[in-house]
A and B are shown apart, each in its own frame.
Chain A
């Protein structure tokens, strides 16, 4: 098992991408270490696929440079980069059987037949494709096709894996299984991987580091847990975590935050960091509203309850602002009535109201 190293493997040096006059990716810097599993995540249309395609060489870089393993490959053909890619819509060879699809690149590059068979067999076993080896892609389900596409990338033993939403067409159970498999396999092979998804759970569970993008701009690059605990700005805070973080506009004075006339005491260090402000954004995750290290009572109007078994979601309002709180199943609340939750103020986040940056 190889853990990610600190040796830079892929370097994006201020790359930009424009389609005609529209700049899709403004200058972007990113260094990916050898053996690292990087996940690009962000809302639809933010430029994840474009960035990945620039790395693969399928999309030209408008300005800037791409280095892989110390070589400047900005203008190299895709084939020279030793990457293997799994496409969003499979891109299988329609007239070849599953076996031929997986083994095709090896066959063209003159790998001995026994080795091709061995590697195809290994990949098929791993991906549960053995019963389908002689079928054509059109006779496979979406999930099976996607696994063939993954198998085709795996058998090549490339320097870099590129995944473009490879699990988007699988059912929930298979998706959970496959993400573990991919992650374990990547660690076993020690191959650097760049993985695109817009599913934040996938991003959090698979990544060594997550790159959160918005409109082509990298908002934060960090380990999943840091992303959760210390989001760099309101966008990241909102994007990571489910259900999403609550945001309130509050005032800070006298060592506390004031929300709708209710006093939420802050620790002296926190208050010293933020200072007295008329308007500031307070962010608190729903799962941090049921007691904890520094509980502060907050009264809210309960609109509806969503019992999920392990816990219950209280959907309501504080003043004009919507709030979602995650509480224990037997929490005393009635729709239409007021109820009081205990906010863990040690888990509260503060963001500048204008720049939205973390305070």
Chain B
């Protein structure tokens, strides 16, 4: 049988339906939201849409609440992701070296990740209750009674960071452990024979060899972290005042408390820009670091 190549155009015809479907499903809502962000739309009370140009954007960019929420989000994300990475990597290293009972730890360390953030936040709310919670009892032992875990701005941020770290460190452990187990063991044996200390083996071999994975893990956690809402919603509701209000919570409050859909859409796009901005900066920095090692 001869094998003549298919005429080129036919193959595009076959791909077209799938292509259009994906385009409609992914792009249509985005474009719709973009259009809405240039309008004033209120569902309650229903007012006919009115085109307002960049008014929504200028209003948001001029509001201190928006800039505050960016700052809150950035602080929570950067500190918690840094802690997640350091802790997670350390735990993965420990588990990798088969400490006694490692398999038990392996399972229990992963549990927090499988819980819904809302339930984690609810549990945390009980734990951090300023009067009834066990955390309060613990600090009372050191003479620090009734600390305002959820009611003073800096305490509340610290509490949110703690909960984030508790819930998402396992994710880092899981991926870093997989990375460690994929490393070629002979390379480390060669280093041991050459009398390279544990610390230098980590610094010169393990860390650089896992750097691309580390970059990916941190990137995923950064992007995910920026979307934090449920934990904040349940734990502090953005309070006291708006001192723990994150970007997404701000958008939610605009959309579902004021029912200002146009404003919310504009906020979503600004959120997208913020994430892309931070993401790009991060990847550029990471790229330089990887290039130095690879």
Whether both chains belong to one complex is answered with yes
Judged by a CB distance under 8 angstroms, whether B202 is at the interface is no
Contact present for B193 and A83 (CB under 8 Å):
yes
With the chains together, A48 CA to B136 CA distance in Å? 62
Contact present for B200 and A108 (CB under 8 Å):
yes
With the chains together, A136 CA to B208 CA distance in Å? 14
Judged by a CB distance under 8 angstroms, whether B104 is at the interface is no
> What are the residues of chain A within 8 A of B123 when measuring CB–CB?
none
- The answer to whether A91 and B189 touch (CB under 8 A), given A105-B194, A109-B195, is yes
Produce 1/0 per residue, B169-206, CB < 8 A to A.
00000000000000010110111111111001000110
With the chains together, A358 CA to B286 CA distance in Å? 68
With the chains together, A255 CA to B208 CA distance in Å? 74
Partner of A91, one of B190, B197, B200: B190
Query: What 7 A-B pairs come out closest when comparing CB atoms?
Result: A79-B195, A91-B186, A105-B194, A91-B190, A78-B192, A85-B193, A78-B193
Judged by a CB distance under 8 angstroms, whether B60 is at the interface is no
With the chains together, A81 CA to B190 CA distance in Å? 13
Produce 1/0 per residue, A71-88, CB < 8 A to B.
000000111111111010
- The answer to whether A105 and B186 touch (CB under 8 A), given A94-B209, A95-B208, A95-B209, is no
Q: List 10 A-B contacts (CB under 8 A).
A: A58-B192, A78-B192, A87-B186, A87-B189, A93-B191, A104-B194, A105-B191, A108-B194, A108-B204, A136-B294
Produce 1/0 per residue, B203-239, CB < 8 A to A.
0110011000000000000000000000000000000
Q: Which B10-47 residues sit within 8 Å CB-CB of chain A? A: none
> What are the residues of chain A within 8 A of B200 when measuring CB–CB?
108
With the chains together, A58 CA to B204 CA distance in Å? 20
Contact present for A93 and B187 (CB under 8 Å):
yes
Contact present for A56 and B187 (CB under 8 Å):
no
> What are the residues of chain A within 8 A of B195 when measuring CB–CB?
78-80, 82, 105, 109
Task: Tell me if B's interface is mostly helix, strand, loop or mixed.
Answer: helix
- The answer to whether A95 and B294 touch (CB under 8 A), given A104-B204, A105-B196, A108-B200, is yes
With the chains together, A80 CA to B192 CA distance in Å? 9
Judged by a CB distance under 8 angstroms, whether A98 is at the interface is no
Interface size on A, residues (CB 8 A): 28
Contact present for B193 and A84 (CB under 8 Å):
yes
Judged by a CB distance under 8 angstroms, whether B293 is at the interface is yes
- The answer to whether A58 and B193 touch (CB under 8 A), given A87-B186, A91-B184, is yes
Residue on A with the closest CB to B189?
Answer: A58
Smallest distance from the beta carbon of B192 to chain A beta carbons, Å?
4
Which of A57, A90, A108, A152 has the most chain B CB within a 10 Å cutoff?
A: A108
Judged by a CB distance under 8 angstroms, whether A267 is at the interface is no
> What are the residues of chain A within 8 A of B205 when measuring CB–CB?
93
Judged by a CB distance under 8 angstroms, whether A89 is at the interface is yes
Contact present for A84 and B186 (CB under 8 Å):
no
- The answer to whether A156 and B194 touch (CB under 8 A), given A94-B209, A95-B293, A104-B204, is yes
Smallest distance from the beta carbon of A336 to chain B beta carbons, Å?
46
Which of A83, A85, A91 has the most chain B CB within a 10 Å cutoff?
A: A91
With the chains together, A223 CA to B157 CA distance in Å? 76
Smallest distance from the beta carbon of A283 to chain B beta carbons, Å?
40
Smallest distance from the beta carbon of B235 to chain A beta carbons, Å?
42
Given contacts A78-B193, A105-B194, 13 further A-B contacts (CB under 8 A): A56-B189, A57-B192, A78-B192, A79-B194, A84-B194, A91-B187, A91-B189, A93-B190, A93-B205, A104-B204, A105-B191, A152-B190, A162-B193
With the chains together, A105 CA to B187 CA distance in Å? 13
Contact present for A56 and B193 (CB under 8 Å):
yes
Smallest distance from the beta carbon of B289 to chain A beta carbons, Å?
12
With the chains together, A79 CA to B194 CA distance in Å? 6
Residue on B with the closest CB to A92?
Answer: B187
With the chains together, A94 CA to B116 CA distance in Å? 40
Residue on A with the closest CB to B186?
Answer: A91
Residue on A with the closest CB to B211?
Answer: A95
> What are the residues of chain B within 8 A of A77 when measuring CB–CB?
192
